[in-house]
Amino acid sequence: MTTPLRIAVLSAWHVHAEEYGRAAVDHPGTELVAVWDDDTDRGRGLAERLGVEATTDLDALLAREDLDGATVTAATSDHLEVIGKAVAAGKHVFTEKLLAPTVAECDKLVAAAADADVRLTVSLPRLTHGYTQALREILDVGTLGRLTYSRVRLAHDGATADWLPARFYDASEALGGAFSDLGAHPVYLTQLILGDELTSVQATYTDQTGRGVEDNASVTVATPDGAVGVIETGFVTPASPFTIEVHGTEGSVLYGFETDEEGTAVMRVVTREGSSRVALPADQPTLFAQWVDSIHAGAALEDTLPRARSLTALVEAANAAAQH
């Protein structure tokens, strides 16, 4: 293991590829050394912006003894191959969601990483945010009583404003549209709230911009004890605040429905005794930073892999439900 850790970006396919590359540039414990992409022009463009070399030879890059790890921002359909090769080469991996197209493939990658003793982490960034920490505490202490309903909404105008790359609408590469991509965040937050055990998954997908995949989606789930969860996402919404609402027999928590004087989203708990604003803790270190620490510590991050597996399971179920 080198000091600092030497990192490569594996593919410029995803819109977060440059963000993760810059994370490696900016972190004091890492050094970005290369960008790989099977698309020469795409890879060269990102490499030039990041100031590193570009290559189209993945096997040669992964064979480098001075390479410690990689951020994977390839097409989701390529994750099994690309992550699998990186793990087999003994490289630590920080990957964009989804971890893999299917639960079986997730399990294969997780097992391979464990066998190779490398740190595999999936980027589920909203787990580190202050509002999620505050929500966890509210749920843990039982303030809301028995949960009855949750709704998490996250949407943007990537399709209507045409700023998402065309490859995001290629179902063979992206495994779908808005729900498989942006919808992942409200999915793992919903699972944080209601748990992973579901008795039903119902999906409504529409294609408003005619690109052939869903750009507007609503998925409803139910738990064994009767709670209902609604997950909403889309690429066709010009102004949609990120919102979370959770209701129980004893109270409710609302986030994102109001802002303070500085424009920061507010979390509020409402019970029979009244309404109170929740003080939000600071965000935890980014998952990229936690991944770097886990490499040095020689211990996997406990939360992201089980959540990534459950995320894939629900996305799989929703995509299947939308076909009926």
Question: What domains are defined for the chain?
Answer: 5-123 (3.40.50.720), 130-282 (3.30.360.10)
- Residue 259 region by backbone torsions, left for phi larger than 0, else alpha for psi between -120 and 50, else beta: beta
Which pLDDT does position 205 carry in this prediction?
98
Which pLDDT does position 302 carry in this prediction?
78
Q: Give the C-alpha separation, 217 to 322, whole Å.
A: 10
Q: Which of the 8 DSSP states describes residue 225?
A: T
Residue 80 has a CB neighbour count (10 Å cut-off) of 19
311 contacts 100 by C-beta, under 8 angstroms: no
List the alpha helices (DSSP H) in 96-215: 103-116, 130-141, 171-174, 184-194
4 preceded by a cis bond (ω within 30 of 0):
yes
The DSSP element (H or E) to which 42 belongs, if any, is helix 40-50
Q: What is the pTM of this model?
A: 0.96
Which pLDDT does position 324 carry in this prediction?
79
Which pLDDT does position 29 carry in this prediction?
97
Which pLDDT does position 163 carry in this prediction?
96
Which pLDDT does position 303 carry in this prediction?
86
Mean pLDDT in order along the chain per 10 residues (324 residues): 93 97 98 98 98 98 97 97 98 97 97 97 97 98 97 98 95 91 97 97 98 97 98 95 97 97 96 96 97 93 91 97 90
Q: Which of the 8 DSSP states describes residue 161?
A: T
Helix/strand/coil for 177: coil
Buried-state track 15-41, b at ≥16 Cβ within 10 A, e below 16? bebbebbebbeebeebbbbbbbbeeee
Q: How large is the C-alpha radius of gyration of the chain?
A: 20
